[in-house]
Amino acid sequence: MTAEGFVARFLTRRVGGMLWRNTVVSTGVFLLGLVVLWVLVEFFQVDRVIAAALSFAVSTSLHYVLGREWVFHGTERKAGRGFAIFLVNALVGLGVTVGLFWVLVAFTTINYLVARVIVSMFAGLAMFALNGVWNFRQI
């Protein structure tokens, strides 16, 4: 498959709908993750980078459940195997999230919550593409 053909797979109304639903789910679980991050840092004095990783794990698990049922509804992949692949994809997202988060909080004066918002956009799109193509095979 050519690069143009691969990109064309993403530029359809159906995939646009999935991206919209994924955005709704991602935003909801992201907000939950942000609250978890804030609680861990502000109330439990957990290191900001470790707290970002923990909050990412919580929101990612919920994202799988909601994504499987609503975003990529109709996937034929078994739930257990799908969750395992989702976790592999999440490790990519976790690497992007924690790595970029660390860079932003270590080398800029950006507030850690703002940094998390910025980072989420990059990680979220990467995870949507990986899951749509590789895991749920809907794109």
Residue 84 has pLDDT above 80, yes or no: yes
> For the chain, what is the radius of gyration of the CA atoms?
16
9-34 burial string, b = 16+ CB within 10 Å, else e? eeeeeebeebbebbeebbeebbeebb
- pLDDT 10s digits, 98-130: 999 999 999 999 999 899 889 988 888 888 999
Instruction: State the pLDDT at residue 43.
Output: 98
Answer yes or no: pTM beyond 0.85: no
Contact (CB, 8 A) for 98 and 49:
yes
pLDDT value at residue 6: 78
Confidence band, pLDDT 50/70/90 cuts, at residue 7? confident
Q: What are phi and psi of 39, to 5 degrees?
A: -65, -45
